Amino acid sequence: MKKVLIYKGFERFWHWTQSVLIIFLAITGFEIHGSFSFFGFENAVKYHNIAAVILIVLIIFAIFWHFTTGEWRQYLPTFENLRGQINFYLLGIFKGSPHPFKKTTLSKLNPLQRLTYLGLKLLVIPVMVTTGLLYLYYRYPQNTKIEALNIDSLAPIAILHTIGAFLLVAFIIAHLYLITTGESVTSNLNAMITGYENLHDEHNTEERSVNTENISESRV
């Protein structure tokens, strides 16, 4: 075991800022949606719009960071060991089996995480940003008098935005829970706060698949 810097400074800053913003957007967003009243409608709209712009700027920085550091490769999907990961959450975890996936700095996301985060990055977040911007500016193309640019109804925009919001809230709930399923209950949380986590030595990575396959046998 070795203490390794797994989440760099910007990554942690990006993660926490994004999490605060998304939770804040969810609260203000569902108030605008009419689900409850907390800040007051006018404030909710104002705060939601400001937080949205900050989040978009943050996303632009994050995209830049991912490409310049090559970290985007962390999200390349793999189906290898996907079943193993699912089995672990469904069965292994209750039996005290070891994690099927061994984190390394080059591959720090398990196959399920890779798929989920890729889905967020390629689908949910782009849909939220696009529908969010359309929500704010959909009326303006009408001034150009170009028929094709006219958006006649806010309904599809707003409803897509709502679907995305429900998905994100469900994601946050699952995510908050799943961070307790690391090596210890707090190890994942600690890693995202301090950046450091105790990882198995790099040369163990090659044995990863062997390990997974051996789980059931080792428990017998």
Partner 1 sequence: MKNILTGLLLFLIIVITGFLLLNTADTPKTTEALLTKYQEKRVTKADHSGFAQLNKKFNSPQEVTRECITCHNKRDEQVMNSSHWNWEREEYVPGKGIVYLGKKNAINNFCIAVGESELSCDKCHIGFEPAGTQRKFTDAENIDCLVCHDNSGTYSKGANMGGLPDPKLDLSEVAKSVGRPGRDNCGSCHFFGGGGNNVKHGDLEKSMLAPGSDIDVHMGTDKADMSCVDCHKTTDHKMAGKMYTLSSMNTDRSYCEDCHTSSPHENTVINEHSLKVACQTCHIPVYAKENYTKVFWDWSTAGKLKNGKPYIEEDSAGNDTYMSIKGSFIWKKNLEPEYIWFNGTATHYVSGEEIKDTTRPLVLNRLYGSYDDPDAKIVPVKIHRAKQPFDPVNRYLIQPKLFAQSIGEGALWKDFNWKEAAAKGMEYVNLPFSGEVSFLNTEMYLPVNHMVSKKEDALKCTDCHTRDNGRLAKLTGFYLPGRDYSGVVETAGAGLITLTLLGVLGHLGMRIYSSRKNRNAKV
Q: Are 47 and 24 in contact (CB under 8 A)?
A: yes
**Least distance from partner 1 to the Cβ atom of residue 176, Å:** 8
Between residues 46 and 73, which has the closer beta carbon with respect to partner 1? Answer: 46
Shortest approach of partner 1 to residue 78 CB, angstroms? 24
Query: Under the criterion CB under 8 A, does residue 61 sit at the interface with partner 1?
Result: yes
Taking CA atoms, 114 is separated from 22, 51, 143, in Å, by: 20, 26, 43
Asked if residue 170 binds partner 1 (CB under 8 A), the reply is yes
Site for partner 1 (CB under 8 A): which residue of 1, 57, 123, 149? 57
Of the pair 64, 76, the CB lying nearest partner 1 is at 64
Looking up tokens 């090596």, which residue turns up? 183
Which residue lies nearer to partner 1 by CB, 123 or 154? 154
Collapsed DSSP state (helix, strand, coil) of residue 6: coil
**C-beta of 41 vs 67, nearer to partner 1:** 41
For residue 219, state whether it binds partner 1 (rule: CB under 8 A).
Answer: no
Task: Provide, rounded to whole angstroms, the least separation between the CB of residue 73 and partner 1.
Answer: 23
Q: Rule CB under 8 A: choose which of 69, 78, 142, 209 binds partner 1.
A: 142
Q: Does 49 bind partner 1 (CB under 8 A)?
A: yes
Give the Cα separation of 32 and 44 in Å (integer): 6
Q: Closest Cα to residue 61, out of 27, 17, 26, 23?
A: 17
Q: Are 160 and 166 in contact (CB under 8 A)?
A: no
What string marks each residue from 66 to 85 as x (binds partner 1 by CB under 8 A) or -? --------------------
The residue whose two tokens read 């990055």 is 121
Task: Please count the helices (runs of H) and the strands (runs of E) in the chain.
Answer: 9, 2
Question: Smallest distance from the beta carbon of 136 to partner 1, in angstroms?
Answer: 9
* Interaction of residue 179 with partner 1, rule CB under 8 A: no
For 112, other C-beta atoms within 10 Å of its C-beta total 17
In the three-class reduction of DSSP (H, G, I as helix; E, B as strand; rest coil), residue 196 is classed as strand
**Residues of span 88-107 touching partner 1 by CB under 8 A:** 89, 93-96
Angle at 108 between CA 70 and CA 78, to 5 degrees: 80
Q: Residue 108 and residue 196: Cα distance in Å, rounded?
A: 12
Residues of the shown chain interacting with partner 1 in the complex, contacts defined by CB under 8 A: 9-10, 12-13, 17, 32-34, 37, 40-42, 45-46, 49-50, 53-54, 57-58, 61, 89, 93-96, 139, 142, 152-155, 158-159, 162-163, 165-167, 169-170, 173-174, 177
